Amino acid sequence: MKKRQKKNGGSPMDPLRQSPSRSSSRASSPRTLPCEMLGYVGIEAVLDQLKIKAMKMGFEFNIMVVGQSGLGKSTMVNTLFKSKMWKSTMPGLGVPTPQTLQLQSVTHVIEESGVKLKLTVTDTPGFGDQINNDKCWDPILGYINEQYEHYLQEEILITRQRHIPDTRVHCCVYFVPPTGHWLRPLDIEFLQRLCRTVNVVPVIARADSLTIEEREAFRHRIQENLKTHGIEVYPQKCFDEDINDKILNSKIRERIPFAVVGADREHIVNGRCVLGRKTKWGIIEVENMAHCEFPLLRDLLIRSHLQDLKDITHNVHYENYRIFRLNESHVLPRGPGWVNLAPAPVSVPAPAGPQANPVPPKVGGWAKDNSDEEC
């Protein structure tokens, strides 16, 4: 034992002696050691400061619902936030069917226990309702990229706002018709393009039209379709930050797509008031896990992953769009307050060769370094 200590120059349990090559290369960087506190300082008050500031500013959340007419998109949004966000229209009441895809957005401020949420819901009436649905997804993808462009234009201004209005779509809930078979070619083509641009959460609409056995079989078929065609829906495995996220998200991925039922009317069941849909066989309670999986969708979108949806939108999807735009051209469309980032002409001539214009190589190198962050 003495010979071993003498050979290593110290105790074998000394952490500073376990890897002499790495410690010698980082000798100049100080180590962060735990500090023994002698009393209460009040560092935990930072959490209260952040909470107060966040409650003053409020929160923003933008959600898009996509699906054919008659799948209960408006009713589902009303059920999610327990508010009259959209006026539901029953089919066959003289409402004309849109001839082309239209996008409608509505913004409301919802307040609960002092917390204000600025909610923007974008509906897509007319999606998939036509005989020829070729490239019917172009207006939706164009709208999502247009919001990224608006944010980018505000971000690059030299005199930009202190708080840039965020109109970017944070989540897209895709409603799958309850056919009980497989995903339609339209669903596959659209989801392949949509999942690269925004967070996508697929759901089985009007799940009360299927039995429990049909619902589970339909879910497994959809999961096989998503895996076969390389469609990565939210939450993706590559975004799991720690073991707790991995455990929680694994349970969510097993249940996606959620079988949901929407309802915005209350009924009395066993002396209690519940949200549900009344049929001649009984009342379907939307918040009862024995009837549908609406509570799982609500928890994912609001109670557990709302901030994560916003973070991934900003750090992944928006960054991908930003990299694409900078690689496409370092001279973006000029707006008010625009400053040209290209090098200004100077009296000393710039050296010839690849160093003459340093801006494009810098942009390309930045994009290359960040390419590993993509899924």
pLDDT tens-digit profile, the chain (375 residues): 444 444 444 444 444 444 444 444 444 556 777 777 778 888 889 998 998 888 888 899 999 999 988 898 988 998 888 877 766 555 554 555 565 677 889 999 988 888 899 999 999 887 877 777 788 889 999 999 999 999 999 998 888 888 899 999 999 999 999 988 889 999 999 999 999 999 999 999 999 899 999 999 999 999 999 999 999 999 999 988 889 989 999 999 999 999 999 888 888 888 888 888 888 888 898 988 989 999 999 999 999 999 999 999 999 999 999 988 888 765 555 555 555 544 444 444 444 444 444 433 333 333 334 444 445
- Whether 56 and 115 have beta carbons less than 8 Å apart is answered as no
Confidence at residue 18, expressed as pLDDT on a 0 to 100 scale: 46
Question: How many Å from the N-terminal Cα to the C-terminal Cα in the chain?
Answer: 50
Write down the pLDDT at residue 17.
Answer: 45
Nearest to 251 by CA among 240, 266, 261: 240
pLDDT at 344 (0 to 100): 44
CA angle 223, 229, 234 (to 5 degrees): 55
Question: Checking DSSP bridges between strand 115-123 and strand 59-66, what pairing results, if any?
Answer: parallel
Q: Strand 272-279 and strand 115-123: pairing?
A: unpaired
Q: Are strands 266-269 and 272-279 parallel, antiparallel or unpaired?
A: antiparallel
φ, ψ of residue 11 in degrees (nearest 5) = -70, 140
The span from the CA of 209 to the CA of 279, in Å, is: 12
What is the number of H-type helices and E-type strands within the chain?
A: 12, 9
pLDDT for the residue 347: 45
**Separation between Cα atoms, residue 138 and residue 165, nearest integer Å:** 24
- Residue of 271, 203, 204 lying closest to 233 (CA atoms): 203
Res 2: pLDDT: 47
Place of tokens 């930003």: 322
Q: Decide which of 3.30.360.10, 2.30.110.10, 3.40.50.300, 3.30.420.40 is the CATH code for 44-329.
A: 3.40.50.300
Which ranges in 229-358 belong to alpha helices (H)?
Answer: 243-255, 294-298, 306-312, 318-328
Q: Tell me which H or E stretch contains 57.
A: helix 45-57
Contacts of 316 (CB under 8 A, 6+ apart): 239, 373, 374, 375
Whole-prediction pTM value? 0.75
What is the sign, positive or negative, of the torsion defined by CA atoms of 182, 184, 187, 188?
positive
Whether 260 contacts 294, CB under 8 Å: yes
| Residues 6 or more apart whose Cβ sits within 8 Å of residue 249 | 235, 237, 240
With helix as H, strand as E and coil as C, how does 305-325 read? CHHHHHHHHHHHHHHHHHHHH
Q: Are 201 and 234 in contact (CB under 8 A)?
A: yes
Q: What residue ranges do the domains of the chain occupy?
A: 44-329
Peptide bond before residue 235 is cis, with ω within 30 degrees of 0: yes
